Every structure is written in structure tokens, then in C-alpha cells.
Structure 1
Amino acid sequence: MMQLEPDFRGRFAEPPSFEQMLSLEGEVFRELAGRRTLRFFLGEKGYFAKLHFGVGWKEILKNLSHFKLPVLGADNERRAIRRCEELGVETMRIAGYGCRGWNPARIQSFLVTEELADTISLEDLCRDWKTNPPPFGLKKALIEKVAGMAAALHENGVNHRDFYICHFLLPLADLERVSRQEAFRLHLIDLHRVQLRPRTPQRWIVKDVAGLYFSSMDIGLTRRDILRFMRAYRRRALRSLLQDERVFWERVERRALALYRKEFGRDPASNPSLGR
């Protein structure tokens, strides 16, 4: 099967074949065994393509031996994008999708999304906050926005698995709206490993929230900032939240610290505690 949005299909001289889609060329961002991610242009419009050529039985068996379901192709990310759209979580816009084959190890597929041009990741936006603090309104709005997006996912059976601030993209055109605490867009990307279930298991919620905390440990967040996130994420009064969920937040903190030590070989210079 192959589905192309009319605007995307119309940018080709003739409707492209499945083989043409798998042979797209452009700036390669990531290339692994059986998978390639690249950016290409049709006219002046940019797109990202995730091309899957089959994971092979070795990869499938390796995942199963670790009690993990393998990601066999682009369909997982396609379904994740559609679920985010249903939940009102801004993400990428699909331009085209295709899948063929029945052998799990040799399924071929592709997913094309429109490029999110003129955006900045939260990692880049917040990089110098520690030495050059942002306006209060901007920081508050971003913290509450991220918390709301996380809550929408976790409360509806979705977990990201790579939930870091680098995967949130803010349109530059919306930057002033953030400072004024007006409605703004924030796009969640890199949904390749997203898991979809009727209900999100606690361990995966801990992993996602720990990923957020780990990736923001060096941007100068204060204890009040952390509490603001916790309150917006749980939508509960802080007093009852700290009393009833201390164990959860301590688990998040331990996992985040373990990630930081693994990445940098040391403890962070400072990090506000979550569980106390």
C-alpha cells in the first residue's frame, strides 16, 4: 500500500512508484542497518523521509530476547503521529506513507513528513539559561506546555522512549507569543520508538519523565520551576502531590541521575530534588 497527500504527490512530474520513494536522495541525517533518515526538497519545500528496508531476523530476535517488541518499519511512527493528532499534541505532518511485504524481517516501508522549518529545539533555546536567565513568562509558559503535552501522552497510553528537550521544536514565529503567555505551538518529534497502549505502564512513564529531567539538568532550573512542572503535569495541588507521589518522583530522580552519570561520568553541578 502507498498513500501520498495530494500536495506532496503533485510536486512530482508523475505519481512516484514505491521504488522511487525508497530511492529518495538528500542530506542523510541517520543511517543504520536497514534504516535511513534524510532531508530532501521538492521545489523550495523541505521534507524528511524515514526509509526502512527490513530489520532482519537478528534484530527481531535481539529485541525479543530483551522482552521488547521490535520496530519493524515506518508504521509505528505513522500511528504515533496520528495518535498525537487525536490528543492535540503538536507533531509532524505526514506527506506520504507506504508499506509492502509480509515477512516481518523484510518489510519495506517509508514515511515522509513535512519539514518543520524555522524552528528551534528547546535544547538550543535553553542552552544558556543558566548564565542568561530568560524572562519569567517565557520559562513558565514552556514548562507548563511541556508538562501538558507529557500528561496528554501518558494519560492516554502513549510513551515516547526518547523524551528529551531536544525533541521539542518551537517555531521561531511563536517565540514572542510564548513570552506573552499566549497560545503557541510546540512540536514533538522523533516518534520512531513510541509505544501505544490502552494504558501506559508506570515504568515507562518514569522513563519518559526522567528523560525530560535529565535533559534539562544543566539549563538552570530552580526548585520552583521543578514544582511548577510537577503541578502542571499532575494537575494537582502541590501539597497532596508531594505527600501521595513521593515514591514516584524519587524514582524519576534516581533514573535521571543515572542517565546523567552514564552520559557525563559525574553528578550534575546542581539539581533541585523532586521527591522532597
Structure 2
Amino acid sequence: MSVYLREELARAWAGQDPFEVVEHITGDVYRELEGRRTLRFELHEKAYFLKLHRGIGWKEIFKNLVQGRLPVLGASNEKAAIEALQAVDVGTMSVAAFGEKGQNPARQLSFIVTDAIEPSISLEDLAIEWREQPPSLQQKRAVMATVCHMARAMHEAGVNHRDFYICHFLLRNRTFTNDPDLAIIDLHRALIHKKIPYRWRLKDLASLYFSAFDVPLTLRDKLRFIRDYTGLPLREALNDQQKLWQQVEAKAQHLYKRAVRKGIIR
């Protein structure tokens, strides 16, 4: 069993079993899935997010593996990913509490509590606003440069998100500066490697690009991203990594067509 409680939660939950506490926390439920519950709650006028993981059972684990998907077994995955991003100064969530008990991965109980990032706006919602009120060139470039830097640093640290969409970037305080304060969230499916495999890098980059289709991106914007992400002169990046960027384009287009087919995008 492993438990971490930051000072204010250690005081608030003193003398109580933290696993019992999180089981009975109430708040605004954001997601309720088999084996995982996500909710926002407040304690002493401070807001937090709780992700409570209950074992999904061997049947669901095997089902995920047969379908070629890696199952999410608990909260430790997200905690490790947060710590990996913090180690390379990539903006992300802050852990206020964590707990894990049980050796059986199919029945393990775990939780993670993070500080709510408020006020903020997701880049997905910001893109919608931009359609009505286009940003200045300086604002757009500042956001894109920061997203690019975060993606590069995350991947160089061996972390891939697996749900790397612009909705999972939050702009703190909705404030624009030359260095926007962005945070990457929802890291429960992230994987950590010594060196990120090609296929996971491709998946992240294609997902990011697909999710930004509604952002008014110019060819120059895209080329600047490639240059800054690779850290190479543009001509060299396009020559040496031509296959990667062609596949990013193709996979992003495939994701878009699938989203249209499923009615997610109209």
C-alpha cells in the first residue's frame, strides 16, 4: 500500500482512512466509466479533481489487450507521468494526494487528487473563440510555440500522452503573454519510455494536428512547428523526417474522416 497526502489534505483527513474518504467524496462528476470516476470537489474553498480507479477485472483487461489497447490499471500511471513532465519543466497538474492498495491489478484500488487549474480555458474552446474573434498574429504564434515546446520536451523525456488533443491543454487564467502558461492534463493513459517509440510519437503528433484542424493554421504555421519541434533547420527536418511528417498528415486526415463518419464532427 502507498499513500501520499499533501499537508492540507493530511490535516483535513487526519485520523481517517484516505481510501474511505475518497470513496465518499461528492462533487461535480465529469466522467463515470467502468472502473474509473472523475469529479471536481471543493475543500475549505479550494478546488480539486479526484480520479478514483477501481479494478476493471481480468475480463476487461484481456479484452483491451486483445484489441491492441493498453488498459489503464490505476492512478500510479498518471502520477508517474505528471512527475516526468515536472522534471523537464513542462506545465501540468499538481498532485495533492495519491493512494494505491492491492496487488491484484484487476482489483486494485487507487486514487489521485490534483489541484483544479482554475480559472483556465482549454485550447479547444479557445480555438472556437478564435473562429469568431481571430487572435493577433503574436498571440497565435505564442500559443503555438509553447505547445510545440511542450510536445518536444514531453517526447524527449520519453513520455507519450495517447490522448494528445488540444482539449487537454489548459491556458491558465485565460491570459496571453509571450510565454503562455499552459498545462497538459488527463495523463492517465500516458506511457513512459527510455526513448519514445516511433509509433507513439506519430500517434501523439497526428492527434494533436487533427484536433487543431479548426484552428486557422497557415502553411507557414505548420512549417514553423516542424522546425521548432525537430530543432533542425526546416530543409533538413523535411528531408530527414519526411516519412514522419507525411504519416502525421495522413493519420490526422484519417482521424478527421473517422470523426465525421461517427458524427463527432459535422
**TM-score, structure 2 length as denominator?**
0.93
Q: Tell me the alpha carbon deviations over residues 70-107 of structure 1, each in whole angstroms, 9 at most, x when there is no partner.
A: 22111100111111111111101000000111111100
Structure 2 partner of 1:101: 102
Structure 2 partner of 1:6: 7
Cα distance in 1 for residues equivalent to 2:121 and 2:129: 14
Structure 2 partner of 1:17: 18
Match of 1:234 among 219, 230, 237: 230
When structure 1 is superposed on structure 2, of 192-201 and 59-68 the one drifting more is 59-68
Cα distance in 2 for residues equivalent to 1:43 and 1:195: 34
Unaligned runs of 5+ in 1: 267-276
Alpha carbons 1:46, 1:115 under 8 Å: kept: yes
Match of 1:194 among 177, 190, 202: 190
Same amino acid, percent of matched pairs: 48
One-letter amino acid matched to 2:192: L
Structure 2 partner of 1:27: 28
SS at structure 1 position matched to 2:12: coil
Cα distance in 2 for residues equivalent to 1:22 and 1:2: 15
When structure 1 is superposed on structure 2, of 127-136 and 73-82 the one drifting more is 127-136
User: CA RMSD, aligned part only?
Assistant: 1.6
Structure 2 partner of 1:159: 160
Q: How do 1:33-48 residues align onto structure 2 when only pairs under 5 Å count?
A: 33-48=34-49
Cα gap change, 1:16 to 1:44, in 2 (>3 Å) = farther
Deviation at 1:12, TM superposition (A): 4.2
One-letter amino acid matched to 2:216: G
Structure 2 partner of 1:271: none
**TM-score, structure 1 length as denominator?**
0.90
Cα distance in 2 for residues equivalent to 1:253 and 1:149: 20
- 1:211 corresponds to 2:212: no
- 1:249 corresponds to 2:248: no
Cα distance in 1 for residues equivalent to 2:102 and 2:204: 33
Cα distance in 2 for residues equivalent to 1:140 and 1:15: 49
Cα distance in 2 for residues equivalent to 1:91 and 1:187: 4
Cα distance in 2 for residues equivalent to 1:128 and 1:170: 13
- 1:221 corresponds to 2:217: yes
Structure 2 partner of 1:118: 119
Cα distance in 2 for residues equivalent to 1:265 and 1:83: 36
Cα gap change, 1:218 to 1:184, in 2 (>3 Å) = closer
Q: Tell me the alpha carbon deviations over residues 112-161 of structure 1, each in whole angstroms, 9 at most, x when there is no partner.
A: 00100100111111214345321111111111111111111112211000
Alpha carbons 1:158, 1:195 under 8 Å: kept: yes
One-letter amino acid matched to 1:218: D
SS at structure 2 position matched to 1:88: coil
Deviation at 1:220, TM superposition (A): 1.3
Cα distance in 2 for residues equivalent to 1:62 and 1:198: 27
Unaligned runs of 5+ in 2: none
Structure 2 partner of 1:55: 56
